[in-house]
Structure 1
Amino acid sequence: MGQHILITGGAGFIGSHLADELLRAGHRVRALDSLLPQVHGAAGEAGRRPEYLHADVELQVGDVRDPAAVRRALDGVDAVFHLAAAVGVGQSMYEIAQYTDVNNMGTAVLLEAIVARGRTAPLQRLVVASSMSLYGEGLYRAPDGALVTDVERTREQLVAGDWEPRDAQGRPLEPLPTPETKPPSLASVYALSKYDQERMCLMVGRAYGIPTVALRFFNVFGTRQALSNPYTGVLAIFASRYLNDRAPMVFEDGLQQRDFVSVYDVARACRLALEAPDADGQVFNVGSGRRYSIREIAERMASALGKGYVAPEITGRYRVGDIRHCVADVARARDVLGYAPAVPLEDGLVELAEWLEGQTAADRVAEASAELAARGLTV
C-alpha cells in the first residue's frame, strides 16, 4: 500500500512532475503551493489550479511560511518532499529579505510543524531539494595534478574578460565532475539559502530521528517550466526569447559549462530517495553527469524550435554570483539510490520544443537584465 505524501511547491515545475511519478508508484499526493504569479503567471494571479497538475493531486493553496497552512498540509501524511523555494541567483542578490524569508524561514516553519507532530505521528522520510549552486565553482585540477576546491575568479580578471579560473601562477585549471565532498563556496544569497535549507533539514532530522535526505539538483529542464519568469532555468529563459523571435542573451563568452538534467530523471531520483533504505542522512547530486557549454545549449534550443536563424547574443559581460564550470559527479546517487540519468538532452529538447509550440511567453529578460545592471550586478 502506498504512502500519503506532501510536496511543498507541489504545483510547480519539478513538483508537478514528482507528483506524477509518485502517483504512478501508487502513492497519494498532496501539494502545498502558494501559486506565485512570477511562477504561474495569470493562473497564479487568479489562484487557479495549473492545468498540468494531475487531477488526483490534492492541492492546498498556502504559503510555506504560514504555520497554520503547513499544519493542515502535514495532517495525515507519511513523508514530505520540501521543494518550496524562491529560485534565482540574480534576483536573490537584491531581493535579499524575500529569498531569506521564503527559503530559510519557510523551511524553519515546516520543520517546527514536523517536530510538533512528535512520536505520535512520526514522519517516515523528509526529502529536501537542495542545489548545485551551493558549490560555487565546481571541482578543478591544477596543472600539477592537485585537486582545487576553492576556486574564485577575481573582479579584475572578469572585467578584463579573462573568464577561465586560474591557479596562483596564472595557469588555467581543468574542470572535473564535482562530488558531494567538495566544500561549499556560496556565491549568492540563493546559494546560501539553499545550503541553509539542506543543513537545517539534515540537522533537525538527525536530532529528532526523522529520516532525511538532501538532493542537490543541477540545471533541471523540461515541460512546465515557468517561461515568463526571467530568473528561472536557463533553458526556459532561452525558450522565452526564441518564442518571441529574440536572441537569447549569453553572459561571458558562452563557453561556461553546466550539467543539464531532465525533470523526469529528477522526479525519479526523488522517488528513489524516498525508497532507498541507506539514503538517510546523506546528500546526493542529481544531474546528468554530462557537460554542455551555455552557447551550445542556446544553439541546440534554437535548432529544436526551428529558430536557427536567431543567433545567441554573446554579451561579454558577467553577472555577480555566476560561476564558470560545474558538472555533477553522480556516483554516490548511482551507488546508494540506484539512480541513472535516462533522458538524453537531445530527446528532452525535442519534447520541450513540442510542448513550447502551444505556449506563450512574456519576455521579461531585458527588464531583468536592466534591473541587475542598474544595481551594479552585471559588468
Structure 2
Amino acid sequence: MRVLVTGAYGFVGNAVVRRLSEAGHEVWALTHRPADAPLPELPVARVFHGDVRSPESLRGALDGVQGVCHLAALTRVRESFEHPQEYHDVNAGGTATLLDVLAQQAEGGDAPTVVLGSTAAVYGAPEQQPIGEDAVPAPTNPYGLSKLAADETLQKRALSGHLKAVILRCFNISGAVHGFGDVDDTRIIPKALAVAAGRYPHLEMNGDGSAVRDFVHVDDLARAYVLALGPRSTAPCSVYNVGATAASMSEIVSTVERVTGRNVPVVHRPPQPEPPQLVADTSKITRELGWKPERSGLEQLVTDGWSALTGERH
C-alpha cells in the first residue's frame, strides 16, 4: 500500500515511517521543513515539502495513495493557550484541507484509509477511570479543542463513504526509536531526563508527585498505526485509545534516577487544580486490532529516552 505520512520527520512520524516500511508499505513523507533543510535518513520513497493548510502542498503528496497517517500537528498544551487560533488553523483546518484534497484525488477510485493521530486531551478530565472511547469529550485547553475538531471533521467525512477512518487517541508518548527521542522538555519524562543530564538544575513539579498519567512507547504506538491500516471492522470510522503504563510523577523521577544513576532534584510547587489520575482503557484496540504494548514499561521508556538523549547504551 502507498501510504503518505504527514509530519513524517517528527518524533512519532519517525517511528511510524519505520514500522510502515518494515510492514512492506511504500511510504511517502510530507514535512513542513524547508526544501533545503537536512533531513534524517528514513526509509521513504518520496519526500514532499509543504504545509497541510495548503492544497497546493498536498496535491502531489496525495496522488495515488491508498492510506494516510496524519500526524502533522501542533501539540504543546501550554503554548496552545498563547496561540489558540494557530492551533485551530493547523490541527483542525489542516485536517479539513487534507481531507478535501484527498477526496478530489481519490474521486472514482477505492476509498482510502485515513489514520488520524489524535490525543487523550479531547477527553478533558473525566471522573470515570480508566477512560473509555465512549467518554463524552470535554477538552480543557485549546490544543484539545483543536484536535477534537479534527476528530469530528474526519468522522463526518467517513460517514459520507468517501474514505475509511481510524482515530488513535494517544495518551503520553515517550521512549525512542533508532536514537530518535522526544526533545519536548515541556513533558515530564524528557524534562526529568534533561535534568539528569545536567541541562537544567532541577525539575519543577506541581503538588506532591502523586498525580498518575498513562504512558506508551512511541514504537508501540507506531505498531498501532500499521494495524489500523489493515483489515478491520466495517464501521466507517473507528476510535481507539492508545495507552499502556500508568505511573505517578514521583515514580517517573525515581525511575529516571535509577536508570541514569544521577540525582534529579525536584522543586515542589503548590498543587494545581488537575485530575489525580488519567488512565486509558485500551480493551477496544486490543480486542479489535490485536494491539498490545511490548516496550511500554516505565523503565524501558526511560532507558530508551536516556539513550537517545546521551548516546549511552544500556
Instruction: Tell me, yes or no, whether TM beats 0.5.
Output: yes
Q: Is the 8 A contact 2:181 2:309 kept in 1?
A: no
The aligned amino acid for 2:242 is V
The corresponding residue for 1:335 is 287
Map of 1:241 onto structure 2: 195
Structure 2 contact 5–13 (Cα < 8 Å) conserved: yes
Task: Determine the C-alpha separation between the residues in 1 that align with 2:124 and 2:266.
Answer: 25
| Match in the other structure for 1:113 | 101
Shift in Å, 1:242: 2.7
Of the candidates 14, 17, 31, which is equivalent to residue 15 of structure 2? 17
Counterpart residue type for residue 213 of structure 1: V
Q: Which consecutive residues of structure 1, in runs of 5 or more, have no partner in the other structure?
A: 36-43, 141-175, 360-379
1:205 aligned partner, one-letter code = A
- AA aligned opposite 2:288: V
CA distance in 1, matches of 2:205, 2:229: 37
* AA aligned opposite 1:21: R
C-alpha contact 2:175 2:301 (8 A) present in aligned 1: yes
Indicate the SS of the match to 2:96: helix
Distance 1:251 1:75 in 2: 48
1:325 alignment partner, one of 272, 277, 292: 277
In the TM superposition, residue 299 of structure 1 has moved relative to its aligned partner by: 2.4
Q: Normalising to structure 1: TM-score of the pair? A: 0.76
Q: Comparing both structures, which one devotes a greater share of its residues to strand?
A: 2
Contact 1:80–1:125 under 8 Å retained in 2: yes
What is the rounded CA distance, in whole Å, between the counterparts of 2:50 and 2:257 in structure 1? 37
1:257–1:294 CA contact under 8 A, matched in 2: yes
Partner of 2:226: 271
How many angstroms apart in 2 are the aligned matches of 1:301 and 1:270? 28
Structure 1 residue aligned with 2:241, among 273, 277, 285? 285
Report the identity percentage.
30
Tell me if the contact between 1:79 and 1:123 (Cα under 8 Å) persists in the aligned partners. no
Cα distance in 1 for residues equivalent to 2:228 and 2:17: 14
Give how far 1:12 is off. 0.6
Q: Which residue of 2 aligns with 1:205?
A: 158
Rate the CA distance shift 1:61–1:303 in 2: closer, same or farther, 3 A.
farther
Could you say which residue in structure 2 is the equivalent of 1:311?
265
* Equivalent-residue separation in structure 1 for 2:248 and 2:182 (angstroms): 22
1:79 corresponds, among 44, 67, 79, to 67
Show structure 2 runs of 5+ residues with no match: none
For 1:353-368, what aligned pairs fall within 5 Å after superposition?
353-358=306-311
Partner of 1:62: 50
Question: 1:374 — aligned with what?
Answer: none
Larger radius of gyration: 1
Work out the number of aligned pairs and report it. Answer: 306
- For 1:230 and 1:196, how far apart are their aligned partners in 2? 26
